[in-house]
Structure 1
Amino acid sequence: MTLSAVPRISCEVIEDGEAKARIFNIQRYSLNDGNGIRTVVFFKGCPHYCPWCANPESISGKIETVRRLSKCLHCPTCQNDVDECPSGAMESIGRDYSLAELEKEVLKDDVFFRSSKGGVTLSGGEVLMQAAVATRFLKRLKSLGIHTAIETAGDAASEKVLTLARQCDEVLFDLKIMDTDKAKSVLNMNQPRVLANLKLLVESGIRVIPRVPLIPGYTLEQGNMAAILQFLAPLKLTEIHLLPFHQYGEAKYQLLGRTRTMKGIVPPHASEIAPLRQMAESAGYHVTIGG
């Protein structure tokens, strides 16, 4: 199965009248997803199919079951049931949390937020797939004085994007393939809408940090970077993150039974990144490599 074949479904979850967030991972002690030490909450579901996706388990909005062969006891009769598996080889990817449960989980790290000026970042997948519950969750965190951020590609209705972003201290906003036709055919992304939303957030006074994944064969080239810098120039932003391609998520594709189209692609060398960094610095940006 390829990423383009993974079903895209609505991820908004309502159980017994209560909105729940469908989460596939909670990563603690992160230093690359906003200021200070952060807890990153990964929301399940994404409308795009980036060939370089490092979190393929995030794409489907459904809760998925996988089997880790390294743990499997090869029982004569497999129940294919997470709760019945004696070795823990059967795992669920995705869990539905009430807002109270999710708040309790992230507040375990409150001491690290306070001491490092960190906070909570909502990521994915694409957090906009669950915008309503994410917005409510961020409101709860803001009421507790916790610094909030989201990572997003911004590809949704402007009202939905703006409503969510207004609950954030900062928005880490991905800019990928700038060519409209390529963005649609390769990523299933509405690039004009993405750019309009980024501009809207900046004009609304929201702190936005553009982030550019540097992907061989797609975005690791000066023409795409020039287009990004040209678009950003009127917005007067001062910071940009460059995110070099990596293969950290490769094993997940085999686990999920999906095809890794970027398999074997070598991560970019520093010498390949340097010209793009120089372009951004020459345009007046403080550049961070890796976010």
Structure 2
Amino acid sequence: MTSFTVQHISSNQPISAGRLPSNVARIFNIQRYSLNDGGGIRTVVFFKGCPHICPWCANPESISNQIHIIRREAKCLHCQPCLNNADECPATAMERIGRDISLNDLLKEVLKDDVFFRSSGGGVTLSGGEVLMQAPFALQLLTQLKHLGINTAIETAGDASITTLLELAKQCDSILFDLKIMDEERAKHLLNMHQSRVLRNFTRLIEEGITLIPRVPLIPGYTLDVDNFRAILAFLAPFKLPEIHLLPFHQFGEAKYRLLNRPYKMSDVVAPSEAEIAPIRQLAINAGYRVITGG
């Protein structure tokens, strides 16, 4: 891996995403040809901003709702004309993380992949960050996509008001719903997550007939724990869902923390081995689930 040093520079666009017009979103990536975020070939839109503080987050650029500018020292010419402006940098050493995009422009972007959606049974997935933090925009986008006959999904931790969540859910063909730490106090302390609300919302969505796919990140020291997973299975048991996704921890996001000058608490944590994951997978299989690992 190429070594580099970076400089974090305050955004020259310090507008809070919460103050954006309802027809403008703040995103940080559009990922095409994804096979792991719902059925078929999908285009995933990553929204900026998240209320949670998961130490293992692989997208640390998604946590803040602010636009950031980073500088890659290895590419910098030290020529000064850019004046710390990413748009003026002749070496592309300066990079803006995050951009604001209108509803119409984002629709145009994702519809470029329409032929892949229709040929593969795919569609558009809204992810983050936490898409519920930009719910008014997301609702408009999902509604338009559904009107066009495009399959829709969101990835969420479900930690928001049920009114907000249900509005979006009714415009989705499926929801990829994360379940993490089941203990209420640990979830609040470690993740800033209101676990009782998460579980109430999950139950309500099931009652409303929404298709949910539970996803469990397997994080050493946090969720890669048989007792925690048994608690998840016990909660899910009454719903008789057919499928569950297991998401083993990886270190792919570590370089992003260095780019953002953020501490990475998981730097010494080793990705779990197949032997460590196997007992969790077997519990899910024994409970009757079709298990997708890494999906």
| Band of TM-score, shorter chain | over 0.9
Alignment of 1:5-44 (within 5 A): 11-15=17-21, 19-44=23-48
Per the TM alignment, residue 238 of structure 1 is displaced from its structure 2 partner at its CA by 1.2
Alignment of 1:183-262 (within 5 A): 183-262=187-266
Counterpart in 1 of 2:12? Answer: none
Per the TM alignment, residue 77 of structure 1 is displaced from its structure 2 partner at its CA by 6.2
For the residue of structure 1 that corresponds to 2:283, the secondary structure is helix
Per the TM alignment, residue 72 of structure 1 is displaced from its structure 2 partner at its CA by 1.3
Alignment of 1:120-159 (within 5 A): 120-159=124-163
For the residue of structure 2 that corresponds to 1:12, the secondary structure is helix
Counterpart in 1 of 2:11? Answer: none
Q: Deviations over 1:110-139 (max 9, x none)?
A: 111111100000000000000110011000
Tell me if structure 1 keeps the 8 A contact 2:51–2:130. Answer: yes
Tell me if structure 1 keeps the 8 A contact 2:82–2:88. Answer: no
Counterpart in 1 of 2:69? Answer: 65
Q: Deviations over 1:187-244 (max 9, x none)?
A: 0000000000011111100000000000000000100000000000111111100000
Tell me the C-alpha RMSD between the 2 structures: 1.3
For the residue of structure 2 that corresponds to 1:61, the secondary structure is coil
2:123 is the alignment partner of 1:119: yes
CA distance in 1, matches of 2:16, 2:275: 42
Alignment of 1:164-179 (within 5 A): 164-179=168-183
CA distance in 2, matches of 1:165, 1:263: 35
Q: Aligned partner of 1:14: which letter?
A: L
Per the TM alignment, residue 13 of structure 1 is displaced from its structure 2 partner at its CA by 4.5
Tell me if structure 2 keeps the 8 A contact 1:51–1:261. Answer: yes
**Identity over the aligned pairs, expressed in percent?**
68
Aligned length: 281
Aligned partner (choices 90, 97, 113) of residue 93 of structure 1: 97
Tell me if structure 2 keeps the 8 A contact 1:12–1:21. Answer: no
CA distance in 2, matches of 1:136, 1:174: 23
CA distance in 1, matches of 2:276, 2:140: 42
Per the TM alignment, residue 86 of structure 1 is displaced from its structure 2 partner at its CA by 1.0
CA distance in 2, matches of 1:68, 1:167: 40
Q: Aligned partner of 2:258: which letter?
A: Q
Aligned partner (choices 160, 164, 176) of residue 164 of structure 2: 160
Per the TM alignment, residue 84 of structure 1 is displaced from its structure 2 partner at its CA by 1.5
Tell me if structure 2 keeps the 8 A contact 1:13–1:22. Answer: no
Q: Aligned partner of 1:272: which letter?
A: E
Q: Deviations over 1:23-71 (max 9, x none)?
A: 1000000000000000000000000000000000000001111112232
TM-score after normalising by structure 1:
0.94
CA distance in 1, matches of 2:82, 2:48: 27
Counterpart in 2 of 1:266? Answer: 270
